[in-house]
Amino acid sequence: MSVRKKNLKEILTTDIITELDVKLLLKRANNGTLTDEERNLFSYSNKAPYALSAEQVEKGRVWLMDQWKTPRGIERKNNPFGYREEDTLSKFSTIELIDLYDAGNINYHYFMPVYRVRDVEDGGFDYYVKAGKIEIIG
Query: pTM here?
Result: 0.85
Name the more confident of 122 and 126: 126
What residues contact 92, with CB distance under 8 A and at least 6 apart? Answer: 61, 117, 119, 120
d(CA 108, CA 111): 10
pLDDT surpasses 50 at 1: no
Please work out, in degrees rounded to the nearest 5, the angle formed at the alpha carbon of residue 111 by the alpha carbons of 125 and 65: 35
Asked if residues 138 and 125 have their Cβ atoms less than 8 Å apart, the reply is yes
Count how many Cα atoms sit within 13 Å of the Cα of residue 46 in the half-sphere of its side chain: 14
Count how many Cα atoms sit within 13 Å of the Cα of residue 45 in the half-sphere of its side chain: 3
pLDDT digits (tens, 9 = 90+) for 78-122: 999 999 999 999 999 999 998 888 888 888 888 899 999 999 988
Question: DSSP per residue over 14-74, as a string?
Answer: SSSB-HHHHHHHHHHHHHT---HHHHHHSSTTTT-SEEBPHHHHHHHHHHHHHHHB-TTSP
pLDDT digits (tens, 9 = 90+) for 27-81: 888 887 776 666 666 655 566 688 899 999 999 999 999 999 999 999 999 999 9
pLDDT surpasses 70 at 5: no
d(CA 18, CA 15): 10
For residues 6-21, average pLDDT: 77
Name the more confident of 12 and 97: 97
d(CA 3, CA 24): 8
